[in-house]
Copies of this chain bind each other. A is one copy, B any other.
């Protein structure tokens, strides 16, 4: 048996990552019909990277951030997606993802394996302008889905307002001009705990009831072939 050719390795990797389409995230598609998978989530983020480039931090290359976002979840093919607010599911996550990176990127020719592995690690460390912008978009997208799903996973899982804001914190450094908007949305959705606690958060919020955008069912109307 001869060693696989460069093209064979590239195609084996591309076939392997098809499985990301079957990794479910906690967040739902807009309209709520089903949970989103990590492949379509990555697509959404890469589109955002181009369109929201004007809010990226100084020194960021939005095209490179898009490339990072396209591959940032690939380790989930082996490691699965851990719901961000589930502490138990996140135990050992780093080690599982490291092993996954080793195996999955390792399917590629060495130069490309090294390139994608480094790009993924840069995202994980979050120290560069590209990684910070990418992380901001990752959080922002979850917020948008929840905004259009009447609070979505935040209300569904009764996540306290402070935890929601902490989760969204990367937006403050990765897309600083969008931070006021993020705060406004969180206040508008008023996650469960802020209501339960009464709390000093009131200063930011309106006193009107929840005003989340209505859930839509667009996808169901589109012709399906």
Contacts and interface: CB of A to CB of B under 8 A. Distances in A.
B223 A79 contact: yes
Contacts of A24: 224-225
Contacts of A77: 218, 222
Contact of A51 (B13, B21, B23): B13
Please give me the 7 A-B residue pairs with the lowest Cβ-Cβ distance, nearest first.
A22-B219, A80-B223, A43-B43, A39-B40, A19-B218, A18-B30, A19-B219
Chain A contact residues (Cβ within 8 angstroms of B): what range? 35 or more
A22 B70 CA distance: 19
A172 interface: no
A70 B46 contact: yes
A24 B21 CA distance: 13
10 contacts: A10-B52, A13-B51, A14-B44, A15-B148, A18-B44, A19-B222, A24-B225, A42-B43, A43-B43, A47-B71
Interface in A29-58: 29-31, 33, 36-37, 39-40, 42-44, 46-48, 50-52
Interface of A: 7, 10-11, 13-24, 26, 29-31, 33, 36-37, 39-40, 42-44, 46-48, 50-52, 63, 66-67, 70-71, 76-83, 86, 89, 108, 112, 141, 144-145, 148, 178, 181, 213, 218-220, 222-225
Contact of A30 (B19, B33, B144): B19
A80 B108 CA distance: 34
Contacts of A218: 16, 18-19, 22, 77
